[in-house]
Amino acid sequence: MDVKSLSNTQLIAFAFGVGSAKAEESEKLFFPARGECFAMDSGVESLRERLVAAVEIDRRMALVEMEDVSSPEAAKTMLRRAIVAQQHESFWVVFMDAQNRVISTRELSIGTVSQCSVYPREIVKSALKCNASAVILAHNHPSGNSTPSRADEVLTKTIKAALVLVDVRVLDHFIVTRNEMCSMATMGLI
- How many Å apart are CA 93 and CA 116, to the nearest integer? 14
Express each pLDDT in 16-25 by its tens digit.
777 888 878 7
- How many Å apart are CA 1 and CA 127, to the nearest integer? 37
- How many Å apart are CA 104 and CA 137, to the nearest integer? 12
Q: Which parts of the chain have pLDDT scores under 70?
A: 1-4, 30-48, 55, 58-59, 61-72
The phi, psi pair for 41, rounded to 5°, reads -95, 175
- How many Å apart are CA 143 and CA 123, to the nearest integer? 25
Give the pTM.
Answer: 0.66
pLDDT for the residue numbered 168: 97
pLDDT for the residue numbered 130: 93
pLDDT for the residue numbered 171: 92
Q: What angle do CA 10, 179, 4 make, to 5 degrees?
A: 20
